Amino acid sequence: MEVDNKLKRTMQIMGRQLTDKSNYYYIINAAKRAVYFLYGMQQFVAAVEAEEMPEILADLLLSMKATTDLFELHKLKLDDEVSETALFVFDHAFRATHKKQAGAFLETLYELDALYSLAKFSQRYELVLPEITEEECSIQGLYHLQVRNAVKNDIDFNDAHCLFLTGANMTGKSTLIRSICLAVYFAHLGIGVPAAAAKIPLFADIIIAINKTDDLQRGYSHFMSEIKRVKQAVEKVNEGRKVFAVFDELFSGTNTEDAAACLSIVLHGMAKRRNGYFVFTSHLAAIWTSCHK
């Protein structure tokens, strides 16, 4: 049986050489690169498998080892020039016989590459891994990555799930809420956050309303676009989903009196929703006064 298979493979190789030389050498060269790449990955896994590592990473490496073992690379005499026949056989095994396992190997490799990039990013900017919690949400020493000599702030949602920032223009409100947004987003990516310490729950929905504009295609004015975004957050909260939402200068698209009235209603309503965490900003003193009548 083995002799028949070898003869069949030899005839296939000869046929390719005679009928389609350019495609044949493309396959051979690609197979050669794949062989040496798999060999390099096999050596890498062997070098790190004894190291202590998270269970998820150990499982990924174990999966990669199982795949590289399938191709029996030690039989290809990598110290010498691999024969074209051996490369053709390997190509068939990689793209046909073990196609499913090869695809899974590549998916694992992509995941490892992404995890490595995220880890290097956290390391480069000295980010701190947050503690993922059920309910508690607090950040100590929060700062924005793009601000030099940034002022660090402490944010705590545990006493109240609704945070209202007010103050004059150019006082840093928008920078602070962007810092909060980045911290929450980074935590959901599984990387560190720009802070001294952080406890952040997993949210089902993250809604960000910053730099809002009108929607000409749908016929929504600036004010209507804001209303639609608030409605989206309210509907998600009422469904019982855990929501994180940020609204920068909400209702700035209407007059001060109406803006104060609308924002007061939204703030008081959102503050009662314990499954939502909300951040609002406004520089209008009238709104702040209205909310505390």
- What is the domain-level CATH number for residue 214? 3.40.50.300
- Residues 271, 162, single domain; the answer is yes
Residues 261 and 151: beta-carbon distance below 8 Å: no
Whether 69 has a pLDDT exceeding 90, the answer reads: no
- The least confident of 41-55, 102-116, 270-284 is 270-284
d(CA 49, CA 38): 16
For the segment 189-195, the average pLDDT, to the nearest whole number, is 91
Whether 140 has a pLDDT exceeding 90, the answer reads: yes
Average pLDDT for the chain: 80
Whether 1 has a pLDDT exceeding 60, the answer reads: no
- Residues 33, 176, single domain; the answer is no
- Residues 116, 137, single domain; the answer is no
Residues 71 and 93: beta-carbon distance below 8 Å: yes
pLDDT at 150: 86
Whether 199 has a pLDDT exceeding 90, the answer reads: yes
The domain tally of the chain equals 2
- Residues 103, 223, single domain; the answer is no
- Residues 102, 54, single domain; the answer is yes
For the segment 32-54, the average pLDDT, to the nearest whole number, is 86
- Residues 118, 233, single domain; the answer is no
Residues 143 and 194: beta-carbon distance below 8 Å: yes
Whether 3 has a pLDDT exceeding 80, the answer reads: no
Domain end point (choices 124, 155, 172)? 124
Beta-carbon contacts of 193 under 8 Å, excluding residues fewer than 6 positions away, are: 127, 128, 129, 130, 139, 142, 182, 183, 186, 187, 200
Percent of the chain having pLDDT more than 90?
Answer: 17
Residues 249 and 210: beta-carbon distance below 8 Å: no
CB atoms < 10 A from the CB of 269, how many?
A: 13
For the segment 17-35, the average pLDDT, to the nearest whole number, is 74
Per-residue pLDDT band at 97 (split at 50, 70, 90): confident
d(CA 186, CA 112): 18
- Residues 141, 112, single domain; the answer is no
CB atoms < 10 A from the CB of 191, how many?
A: 20
pLDDT at 219: 54
Per-residue pLDDT band at 193 (split at 50, 70, 90): very high
CA dihedral 121, 122, 126, 131 (to 10 degrees): 160
Top pLDDT among 43 and 224 is at 43
- Residues 23, 116, single domain; the answer is yes
**Which residues are 164's β-sheet partners?**
280
pLDDT at 132: 92
pLDDT at 48: 85
Say which amino acid occupies 82.
V
Radius of gyration of the chain (CA): 29
Q: Which domain holds residue 281?
A: 131-291
Whether 194 has a pLDDT exceeding 90, the answer reads: yes
Per-residue pLDDT band at 29 (split at 50, 70, 90): confident
- Residues 109, 221, single domain; the answer is no
Question: Could you tell me the two tokens for 148?
Answer: 């030099």
Taking alpha carbons only, the member of 73, 115, 75, 62 closest to residue 98 is 73
Residues 125 and 136: beta-carbon distance below 8 Å: no
For the segment 139-158, the average pLDDT, to the nearest whole number, is 90
Domain end point (choices 76, 98, 124)? 124
- Residues 119, 144, single domain; the answer is no
Name the 3-class secondary structure at 125.
coil
DSSP letter string, 4-17? HHHHHHHHHHHHHH
Domain end point (choices 67, 99, 124)? 124
- Residues 154, 39, single domain; the answer is no
Taking alpha carbons only, the member of 154, 254, 174 closest to residue 214 is 254
Whether 80 has a pLDDT exceeding 70, the answer reads: no
Per-residue pLDDT band at 25 (split at 50, 70, 90): confident
Taking alpha carbons only, the member of 53, 226, 194, 17 closest to residue 122 is 194
CB atoms < 10 A from the CB of 157, how many?
A: 22
Beta-carbon contacts of 36 under 8 Å, excluding residues fewer than 6 positions away, are: 78
d(CA 236, CA 89): 55
* Cα-based distances in Å from 262 to 152, 268, 273, 290: 31, 10, 17, 10
pLDDT at 162: 84
- Residues 61, 78, single domain; the answer is yes
Rounded to a whole number of angstroms, the distance between the first and last alpha carbons of the chain is 91
